[in-house]
């Protein structure tokens, strides 16, 4: 017998003796945030492995439910059957009737031998009402099966920002760190909380990674997409720890594996997160091996040598990669003619945050676009979101001269190859300068001169160039700061109690992996991601990603 639904949608029929039991079913409401419901479905599936999901939508929110269902197919392995039900269309006119129908439906699910998961992430009054009566439903059903409540925590932020700003490609789990999609699970009958333990092999290894080549007019979108896809890759191989290697050479002549970095804290509830930089960033011999593997791209005309000036320049750029990825912060080493909140040793993100509401803006010289200053504006976006502050953090800008200079460097290096290390760094710098472009600041001559001439009022001029800083200080036309990376640490770590610092480290790890994958895409070297669950070998970075797993 089927229970007769009031609105003609939901029918859960009794299971005949000997029928195959469907293990778990999830019920969740759908609003107008497809990214949020995608995260709910994916995170709950990874932890609980349900067989069927019923998305309770309205006739308006149905398209967001369909979008989430489409995304889910690309994100998880062997996923559930997802059914969309427009029952919630009636919730405004007849909330009592909708509650009664849902309660009856859950009771029949339990009687039919199913574990039931009710997701209350959306926080609707209707689902809260269902949750408050769930225990009595289970008792009346005399069921030994579980009735679970889930809530997917993103630290109180409605929409993800910064490195994981919502788009078609990212802003939802598993393309964000697990730290931002933690399922909180309660067993209603026992009143106990269940641990959220990840099952990485339930997450699909992405079919492609994003190259960090510059695309005009797209701002940070290529960078954000790359970060999202790398997080999906990390989440698909590891519960907590992943190790990254570069493999150089052929089996016939010998293969050398270079340890690049280790990422820890990839679980749902880590106490700390960390990135440890390994051999590639410590050993010139290891760097030489990689340089030799990519020499056709680096423009060495086939000369396999690490004795020339080309290698020294390449090595210098290689050692800048952790800075470009945001793992090492930019801090004030000198300042002149500045307001009192600008202090020596203050980080750039702290200065940007202090500038909010005071009318100040920081103008960055071209070199700051190369040194990962975009990570500071992204971290500030998270600080604002977590504290409930609205608006965009438009306090870091780059003048048009910085954009032109970075783009010129990119075009010159890209003539050799878009995977040339200088082209990759210049491409990221061009993205940053374009996305944070200060309109109306034009001129001729050097960028430092343009910035000096154009600065007005509460403008803070920022550079990594000691000579430019000295010239600005002598000109005495306003605040100038000299920023330097706090480089040198090979272990970058943060407690998750400092959530923005932890997120910055995880985003930095993803950016560094994406940068290396782009640099290697035309070489005879491979990138290896080795987790505690499986290993992925990226042999070429193309629009489609060939990979092997173990």
Residues 6+ apart with CB under 8 A from 313: none
Helices 499-519, 221-237: inter-axial angle, 10-degree rounding: 100
Q: Where are the domains of the chain?
A: 24-166, 229-297, 344-488+500-530
The reported pLDDT for the residue numbered 127 is 63
Question: CA 450, CA 430: separation in Å to the nearest integer?
Answer: 18
The reported pLDDT for the residue numbered 289 is 87
- Is 100:8 a contact under the CB 8 Å cutoff? no
Q: How far apart are the first and last CA of the chain?
A: 47
The reported pLDDT for the residue numbered 62 is 92
Topology of the domain comprising 24-166: Rossmann fold (3.40.50)
Nearest by Cα to 395 from 421, 419, 377, 369: 377
Q: State pLDDT tens for residues 139-183.
A: 454 455 677 888 888 887 878 999 999 888 899 999 999 999 999
Ranges in the chain, pLDDT < 70: 1-22, 92, 122-145, 251-253, 295-304, 440-444, 540-550
- Is 32:64 a contact under the CB 8 Å cutoff? yes
Nearest by Cα to 118 from 200, 32, 23, 54: 54
Question: CA 495, CA 331: separation in Å to the nearest integer?
Answer: 21
Percent helix, percent strand, percent coil in the chain, to nearest 5: 40, 20, 40
505's tokens: 């480290």
Q: Provide the percentage of residues in the chain whose pLDDT is more than 70.
A: 86
Instruction: Identify whether 174 is preceded by a cis peptide bond (ω within 30 of 0).
Output: yes
pTM of the model: 0.90
Q: State pLDDT tens for residues 2-59.
A: 444 444 444 343 333 333 335 889 998 888 889 999 999 999 999 999 999 999 888 8
């Amino acid at each position: 017998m089927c229970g007769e639904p009031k609105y003609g949608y939901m029918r859960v029929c009794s299971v005949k003796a000997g029928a195959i039991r469907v293990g778990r079913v999830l019920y969740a409401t759908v609003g107008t945030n497809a990214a949020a419901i995608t995260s709910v479905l994916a995170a709950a599936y990874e932890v609980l492995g349900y067989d069927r999901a019923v998305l309770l939508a309205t006739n308006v929110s149905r398209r967001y439910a369909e979008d989430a269902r489409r995304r889910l197919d690309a994100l998880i392995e062997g996923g559930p059957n997802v059914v969309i039900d427009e029952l919630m269309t009636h919730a405004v006119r007849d909330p009592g009737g909708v509650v009664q129908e849902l309660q009856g439906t859950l009771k029949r699910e339990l009687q039919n031998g199913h574990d039931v998961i009710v997701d209350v992430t959306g926080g609707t009054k209707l689902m809260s009402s269902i949750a408050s009566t769930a225990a009595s439903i289970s008792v009346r059903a005399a069921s030994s099966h579980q009735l679970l409540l889930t809530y997917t925590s993103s630290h109180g932020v409605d929409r993800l920002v910064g490195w994981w700003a919502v788009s078609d490609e990212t802003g939802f789990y598993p393309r964000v760190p697990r730290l931002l999609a933690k399922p909180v699970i309660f067993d209603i009958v026992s009143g106990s909380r269940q641990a959220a333990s990840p099952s990485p092999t339930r997450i699909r290894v992405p079919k492609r990674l994003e190259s960090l080549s510059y695309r005009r007019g797209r701002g940070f979108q290529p960078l954000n997409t790359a970060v999202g896809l790398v997080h999906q890759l990390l989440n698909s191989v590891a519960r907590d720890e992943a190790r990254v290697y570069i493999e150089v050479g052929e089996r016939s002549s010998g293969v050398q594996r270079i340890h690049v970095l280790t990422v820890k804290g990839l679980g749902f509830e880590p106490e700390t997160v960390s990135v440890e930089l390994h051999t590639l960033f410590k050993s010139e011999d290891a760097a030489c091996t990689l340089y030799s593997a990519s020499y056709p791209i680096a423009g060495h005309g086939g000369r396999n040598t690490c004795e020339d000036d080309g290698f020294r320049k390449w090595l210098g750029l290689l050692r800048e990669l952790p800075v470009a990825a945001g793992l090492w912060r930019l801090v004030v080493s000198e300042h002149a003619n500045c307001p009192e909140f600008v202090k020596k040793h203050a980080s750039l993100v702290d200065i940007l945050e202090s500038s909010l509401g005071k009318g100040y803006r920081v103008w960055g010289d071209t070199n700051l676009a190369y040194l990962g200053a975009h990570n500071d504006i992204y971290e500030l976006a998270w600080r604002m979101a977590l504290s409930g502050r609205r608006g965009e953090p438009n306090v870091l800008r780059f003048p048009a001269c910085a954009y032109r200079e970075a783009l010129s460097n990119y075009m010159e290096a890209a003539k050799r190859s878009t995977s040339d290390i200088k082209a990759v760094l210049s491409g990221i710098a061009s993205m940053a300068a374009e996305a944070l472009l200060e309109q109306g600041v034009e001129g001729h001559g050097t960028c430092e001169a343009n910035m000096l001439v154009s600065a007005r009022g509460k403008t803070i001029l920022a550079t990594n160039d000691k000579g430019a800083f000295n010239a600005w200080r002598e000109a005495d036309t306003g605040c100038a700061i000299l920023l330097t990376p706090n480089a040198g640490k090979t272990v970058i770590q943060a407690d998750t109690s400092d959530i923005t610092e932890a997120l910055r480290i995880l985003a930095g790890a993803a950016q560094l992996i994406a940068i290396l994958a782009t640099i290697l895409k035309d070489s005879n070297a491979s990138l290896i991601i080795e987790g505690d669950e499986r290993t992925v070998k990226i042999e070429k970075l193309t629009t489609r990603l060939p990979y092997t797993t173990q």
